[in-house]
């Protein structure tokens, strides 16, 4: 049986389903092919479930640490299986919602694995092994990414877990080693440390979250250390074996090659993700990914092959859901022939949901320095902010970075409570080419955490208000 569509989107994650909705709204007869659940990694086994567990673990920890506020929670306990079930309820509801959205926009959904079978043709293999041919005018690759595997550390989801396995645990492990001190390693490290797991983070580089300015990472690292997290920096995992009592004897080496044994219940591997560009039959349409497996695209998300577009993790960093969605909208507009469709990298907020949260928009300071860009900065510490004190969350700071000459904001960085929410206003400021003075002249509600941005903007203009020069 064969069917014909104007546009086919392979992958129903935040890139693919958004692209499909827009395609249908532009009048295209559209199909989404998804082999698993709608919503992709982000909704089902990534952003949303991790944020649910981050929230639950914070509620637990806040109650446990509430003595200073007169809260006595000595008998507090967590039923982790119920926490995970609550999280699964949220992802189920959201995934169902996407199904409704697609249906409401008259987008067809086919469950199965798609492979190109020559130009303009796809073959979809369904779970029962049957195959269906789909003809299309335009196709969008939105196939996402998969956790990288370290040789010798095969994911069995019992001893060696990827993030999906870690988010599905039914009980709190007594101990866990996390390979990789990047975004996933620190976010999930926080979750398990907060609910009582003894966490060791093994990071190959000399620092955590290496792409961030170091002063943004420092408050996170020290809060983790206070929770008892051990950071083995400059260490690499080399092998593991099972102990007599079923634990994992993990062997890591330092830079000099000296071995250290870490015995834990679970090992979570979070050393990055690779693009899903294999087994798609790309050779049948003459599309060759780059050496790292990424599909190269132009500003309209076009690949080198006419009528084939690509969006999201499969086209490269940053691997972020909101970047994928934005690219999906651009691809849909390009396919529909709308003038002016173009992906702009200027404002892609980056949020790390650690405690405190880190949120940035625009380049890092070290990147600006390396590029020889002349900037002025203003910074304000949450410790001096009334609202932060009342929220019992005084770690961190906000920093506004502005062009030295024009005052136009180049970037904003926040490490502190609710940084993930505060960064939205900063993104708008950069997008609108606002100056530090514009933010300083904007009346902010008091008392709010957003005043950290206001005060940092005042400082960037050279006229700090609630801090001494
Ligand atoms: P990552 O790239 O953030 O961090 C991986 C870390 O592992 C790096 O620091 C690297 O030096 C280290 N590493 C690599 N090989 C190692 C080894 N053999 N032993 C020890 N350390 C090693 O990757 P991660 O955390 O896996 O996240 C993958 C992607 O998922 C990220 O690129 C991010 O885009 C996305 N993500 C985004 C989130 C957010 O926006 N809040 C949350 C979670 C993931």
Best substitution site from 41, 45, 182 to test ligand 1's pocket, by max atoms within 8 Å of Cβ? Answer: 182
Same domain, 248 and 325: no
As a whole number, mean pLDDT of residues 397-407 equals 98
C-alpha–C-alpha distance, residues 61 and 81, integer Å: 17
Within a domain: residue 77?
Answer: yes
The pLDDT tens digits of the residues spanning 71-94 come to 999 899 999 999 999 999 999 999
SS3 of 325-385: the string is HHHHHHHHHHHCCCCCCCCCCCCCCEEECCCCEEEEECCCHHHHHHCCCCEEEEEEEHHHC
Q: Is the pLDDT of residue 469 over 90?
A: no
Measured by CA distance, the residue closest to atom 12 of ligand 1 is 180
Q: What percent of the chain has pLDDT over 90?
A: 97
Predicted pLDDT of residue 245: 96
Q: Give residue 270 CA to ligand 1 midpoint distance, Å.
A: 6
Tell me if residue 231 is catalytic. Answer: no
Same domain, 182 and 204: yes
Q: Which residue has the tokens 């199904």?
A: 99
Q: Are 51 and 27 in contact (CB under 8 A)?
A: no
Which CA distances in Å does 91 have to 33, 182, 212, 421? 20, 24, 30, 21
C-alpha–C-alpha distance, residues 469 and 464, integer Å: 7
| Cβ count within 10 A of residue 278 | 11
Predicted pLDDT of residue 451: 98
Same domain, 217 and 319: no
- Overall domain count for the chain: 3
Which residue, among 10, 11, 6, 26, has the nearest Cα to 332 in the 3D structure? 26
Same domain, 81 and 229: no
Predicted pLDDT of residue 328: 98
Same domain, 297 and 240: no
Q: Are 388 and 416 in contact (CB under 8 A)?
A: yes
Q: Give residue 208 CA to ligand 1 midpoint distance, Å.
A: 10
Range of the domain at 284: 2-147+274-335
Confidence of residue 1 (pLDDT cuts 50, 70, 90): confident
Q: Give residue 185 CA to ligand 1 midpoint distance, Å.
A: 7
Q: Is the pLDDT of residue 465 over 80?
A: yes
- Under 8 Å CB-to-CB from 468, ≥6 apart: which residues? none
C-alpha–C-alpha distance, residues 412 and 421, integer Å: 13
As a whole number, mean pLDDT of residues 120-139 equals 97
As a whole number, mean pLDDT of residues 342-349 equals 94
C-alpha–C-alpha distance, residues 429 and 434, integer Å: 5
Average confidence score pLDDT of the chain: 97
The pLDDT tens digits of the residues spanning 140-173 come to 999 999 999 999 999 999 999 999 999 999 999 9
C-alpha–C-alpha distance, residues 429 and 416, integer Å: 19
Predicted pLDDT of residue 87: 97
Same domain, 358 and 375: yes
Same domain, 9 and 104: yes
CB of 358 sitting under 6 A from ligand 1:
no
Catalytic annotation, pick one of 446, 458, 463, 466: 446
Could you tell me where the DSSP H helices lie in 413-450?
Answer: 419-431, 436-440
As a whole number, mean pLDDT of residues 305-326 equals 98
The pLDDT tens digits of the residues spanning 431-440 come to 999 999 999 9
CB of 270 sitting under 6 A from ligand 1:
yes
CB of 48 sitting under 6 A from ligand 1:
no
As a whole number, mean pLDDT of residues 368-392 equals 97
Whether this model's pTM surpasses 0.75? yes
Q: What percent of the chain has pLDDT over 70?
A: 100
Same domain, 453 and 390: yes
Q: Is 72 exposed, middle or buried (0-12, 13-18, 19+ CB in 10 A)?
A: exposed
Q: Give residue 202 CA to ligand 1 midpoint distance, Å.
A: 12
Q: Which residue has the tokens 């990288």?
A: 148
Confidence of residue 190 (pLDDT cuts 50, 70, 90): very high
State the Cα angle at 13 between 356 and 117, rounded to 5°. Answer: 145
Which CA distances in Å does 265 have to 8, 54, 77, 197, 200? 44, 21, 20, 10, 11
Within a domain: residue 246?
Answer: yes
Q: Give residue 402 CA to ligand 1 midpoint distance, Å.
A: 29
As a whole number, mean pLDDT of residues 127-135 equals 96
Residue 376 is part of a domain; what is its CATH number? 3.30.390.30
Measured by CA distance, the residue closest to atom 14 of ligand 1 is 271
Same domain, 372 and 448: yes
Predicted pLDDT of residue 283: 98
Of 61-75, 142-156, 187-201, the one with minimum mean pLDDT is 61-75
CB of 238 sitting under 6 A from ligand 1:
no
């Amino acid at each position: 049986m064969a069917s014909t569509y104007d546009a086919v989107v392979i992958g129903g994650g935040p890139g693919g389903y958004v692209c499909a909705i827009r395609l249908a709204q532009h009048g295209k007869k559209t199909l989404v092919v998804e082999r698993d659940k709608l919503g992709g990694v982000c909704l089902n086994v990534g952003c949303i479930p991790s944020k649910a567990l981050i929230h639950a673990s914070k509620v637990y920890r806040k109650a446990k640490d509430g003595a200073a506020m007169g809260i006595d929670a000595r008998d507090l306990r967590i039923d982790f299986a119920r926490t995970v079930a609550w999280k699964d309820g949220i992802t189920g509801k959201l995934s169902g919602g996407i199904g409704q959205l697609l249906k409401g926009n008259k987008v067809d959904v086919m469950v199965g694995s798609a492979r190109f079978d020559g130009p303009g043709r796809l073959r979809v293999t369904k779970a029962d092994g049957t195959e269906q041919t789909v003809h299309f005018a335009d196709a969008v690759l939105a196939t996402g990414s998969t956790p990288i595997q370290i040789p010798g550390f095969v994911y069995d989801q019992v001893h060696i877990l990827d993030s999906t396995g870690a988010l599905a645990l039914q009980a709190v492990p007594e101990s866990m080693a996390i390979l990789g001190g990047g975004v996933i390693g620190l976010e999930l490290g926080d979750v398990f440390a907060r609910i009582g797991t003894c966490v060791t983070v093994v990071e190959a580089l000399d620092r955590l979250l290496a792409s961030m300015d170091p002063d943004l990472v420092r408050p996170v690292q020290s809060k983790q250390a206070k929770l008892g997290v051990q950071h083995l920096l400059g260490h690499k995992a080399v092998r593991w074996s099972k102990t007599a009592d079923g634990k994992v004897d993990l062997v890591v080496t330092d830079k000099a090659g000296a071995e250290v044994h870490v015995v834990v219940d679970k090992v979570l591997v979070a050393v990055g993700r690779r693009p899903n560009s294999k087994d798609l039959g790309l050779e049948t349409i003459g599309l060759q990914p780059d050496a790292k497996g990424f599909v190269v695209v132009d500003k309209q998300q076009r690949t080198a092959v006419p009528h084939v577009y690509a969006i999201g993790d499969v086209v490269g960093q940053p691997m972020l859901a909101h970047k994928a969605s934005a690219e999906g909208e651009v691809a849909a507009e390009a396919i529909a022939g709308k003038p002016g469709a173009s992906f702009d990298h200027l404002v892609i907020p980056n949020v790390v949901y650690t405690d405190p949260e880190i949120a940035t928009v625009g380049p890092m300071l070290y990147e600006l320095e390396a590029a020889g860009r002349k900037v002025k900065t203003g910074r304000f510490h949450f410790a001096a902010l009334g609202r932060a004190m009342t929220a019992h969350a005084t770690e961190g700071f906000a920093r506004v970075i502005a062009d030295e000459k024009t005052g136009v904001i180049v970037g904003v960085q926040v490490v502190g409570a609710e940084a993930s929410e505060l960064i939205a206003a900063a993104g708008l400021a950069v997008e609108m080419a606002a100056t530090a003075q514009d933010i300083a002249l904007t009346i902010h509600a008091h008392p709010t955490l957003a005043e950290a941005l206001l005060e940092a903007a005042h400082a960037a203009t050279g006229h700090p208000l609630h801090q001494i020069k």
